[in-house]
Amino acid sequence: MKDTASLGLDGIGKVFHNLSYDELFEHEKARGEGRVTENGTFSVDTGIFTGRSPKDKYFVNQDPSNKYIAWGKINHPISKELFDKLLKKAKAQLSGKDIYVQDAYAGSSQSSRRAVRFISEVAWQAHFVKNMFIRPNESELENFKPDFTIYNACKCANDEWQKDGLNSEVFVIFNIEENVGVIGGTWYGGEMKKGIFSMMNYWLPLENKFPMHCSANVGKGGDTALFFGLSGTGKTTLSTDPHRALIGDDEHGWDDEGVFNFEGGCYAKCINLSAENEPEIYAAIRKNALLENVVIDGSGKVDY
């Protein structure tokens, strides 16, 4: 990566920019970030957080974005001063180290997509992003300019959270005016995914476009079906119909071009997964996929 100054970090070691799957796999193994299963899938443990921390999600309360945010139990306000303090803390964590930079698109519709840059010191989190979002081609990467940047400093936590009036040491914070998001105190990969979903939910309605938490597929006649529901209620399973083409399993938008996926991959729950009941999902778990928080025996076999 040529323009390392744009990352805003001090004393960077090596910058691993948009590594291939094979390169990420070798980094994950060499750094001991997880285990390889019997069929070559890399598996990681996200620690005490195996899901999102919605009470630790904050947006900077500033004009003009504060006029368009649905403040409440999920979207909590944070001051610009506190955001800057936590951003500085996150950047200090990431500085002086080898880091991974992954560039991706959110939104398969050309007129609605956003370019997002993810910065982390953990190889599997770059792998997660590569799987989860839409991968730019070589020519797009040459001219890639991020519309939004996420600093994932999962290894640092806010030990002054009580003094700062926050919910816990975890912080998932967004500055819409500066197009920056920061994650700290949690290793859960889904915070990156859902963080960008939150931003798409902010951006698209202002363009008269409809963001949706649903899975989607399309029939041979061009008929699109949408499956709405909370996480874990069967959206992915219903959308992976062998007689219909999958659009996506979780996050979509609806603009003048039609229904489009925000993502480039699927994020399915694996509990009680079997080849008999959910063959498409089961078959997708192979090399280059990523498993989180599953039980593996000594031989590398996964117990779903």
Please name every residue paired with 213 in a beta bridge, in sequence order, or none if there are none: 251
Kindly tell me the burial class for residue 293, based on how many C-beta atoms sit within 10 Å of its own C-beta (0-12, 13-18, 19 or more).
Answer: middle
Cα separation, 3 vs 6, in Å, equals 6
Q: Which pLDDT value is given to residue 73?
A: 87
Distance between CA atoms of residues 47 and 183, nearest Å: 15
CA distances from 36 to 87, 229, 295 (A): 33, 32, 12
Which regions of 207-271 does DSSP assign to beta strands (E)? Answer: 210-218, 224-228, 245-248, 251-255, 258-261
Residues 12, 106: Cα–Cα separation, whole Å: 27
**What tokens does 271 get?**
């509990």
Estimate to the nearest angstrom the gap between the alpha carbon of 73 and the chain centroid: 21
- In this prediction the pTM is 0.95
Among the listed residues 209, 2, 233, 245, the one whose alpha carbon sits nearest the alpha carbon of residue 109: 209
Nearest to 267 by CA among 251, 288, 279: 251
Residues of the chain short of pLDDT 50, as ranges, are none
Q: What is the pLDDT of residue 11?
A: 86
3-state secondary structure of 284: helix
Nearest to 292 by CA among 267, 264, 265, 274: 267
Which pLDDT belongs to residue 101? 97
